[in-house]
Structure 1
Amino acid sequence: MTTNEPTRRLLDAARRGDAEGVRAALADGAPVEARDGELRSPLLLASLGDHVDAARVLVEAGADPDAQDSRQDSAWLVTGVTGSVAMMRVLLPAGPDLTLRNRFGGVALIPASERGHVEYVRALLDETGIAVDHVNDLGWTALLEAVILGDGGRAHEEVVELLLAAGATPDLPDADGVTPLAHAERRGFDGIAALLRAAGQQD
């Protein structure tokens, strides 16, 4: 890991969201793909803090949205966790790999669905070709995560609606053969169960 002064300033500026500091450090020779002790790039640090202006400077300088750290996080994957539509849109022109997997084998859509990030899920499905039925290492799709790890409230109902409208397979089971509908019924998520039953009847 390079630890010269411009590199330190770049990493610190990205972490703080100081867009002008990022620009100045780059102008002074800091590598756009510098890494900190946890292998986080400046763009990943900006994404973690939802520092959109700093991220824009880095993207314009050619930063890689797919550069992964020691936890397999990347600037792109982190948007699925934060639910930041603005950051997602800043990163899209950099051509992120929509198939890039996090440490759980999931794509950005899965953590976003788990967390009930409705507007992010909507934008991601509308503006990219991300695989709606991607299965992670746990054997779960975005639809399954929205049910299994969601709270059954309105946000997760909306996520389920969006996923189904985007073509998610309503009866694709988990690794144990349990369907999203069965999980919803077990958890007493009546609204989600109704959506899944209706989608299953349309199939």
Structure 2
Amino acid sequence: MTFTSSNEDHLLIDAARKGDAAYIKERIAAGADLNITDGRGFTPLIIAAYDGHEEVTRLLLDAGADVNAQDAGGNTALMGVCFKGYPEIALLLIEKGAELNTQNGNGGTALMFATLFGRNQLVKLMLEQGADTTIRDVRGLTALDLAHQQGNEEALVLFEQHQK
């Protein structure tokens, strides 16, 4: 099979989705563009993080993948892990420079995703790392408002403790 750049891009994206660290290492060694995107604007890093592949996420970050890349909807890898619930990967992303307060196309932030989906360990982490609790989404809601709407008592306690 003859590989074109497009084929290689597709294979890199697919390897990130599968958590194929060996292939990712090969592509890094070959100087692949780690910030390529698929049709939805997903980079290999966004996909690897979202799918919970910590080793591949680390490989991509260590090789220079853009930790703050945004997909077509404005979502970042940090938003994805806060949605899915991967605190170890969230901490890794933050340690590598992930912006805590980036807003997607709907004004949502990683803290809002964690709050909305009851990922309270991530709510705690985001608050400890200094996430801005005053940011409002396009509906005018803050992460605290979302905790109230969801009846997320644990998150409400975390927000209250954070304000002290």
Distance 1:159 1:68 in 2: 27
- Summarize the alignment of residues 16-165 of structure 1 with structure 2, pairs less than 5 Å apart: 34-36=5-7, 40-126=9-95, 128-148=96-116, 150=117, 152=118, 156-165=119-128
Partner of 1:18: none
Residue-by-residue CA offset, 1:71-118 (whole Å, 9 max, x unaligned): 211111112311211011111232112231112111110011011112
Partner of 1:17: none
Secondary structure, counterpart of 2:154 in structure 1: helix
Deviation at residue 40 of structure 1 after TM alignment: 4.3
- The runs of at least 4 aligned residues of structure 1 exceeding 3 Å deviation read none
Seq. identity, %: 26
Residue-by-residue CA offset, 1:34-59 (whole Å, 9 max, x unaligned): 224xx943221210111111111111
**Between Structure 1 and Structure 2, whose CA radius of gyration is higher?**
1
Distance 1:182 1:99 in 2: 26
Distance 2:38 2:93 in 1: 23
Contact kept? 1:147, 1:183, Cα under 8 Å: yes
Give the alignment's TM-score, normalised by structure 2: 0.92
Distance 2:68 2:109 in 1: 13
Q: Quick one: which of 152, 160, 164 aligns to 1:197?
A: 160
Unmatched tracts of structure 1, length 5 or more: 8-30
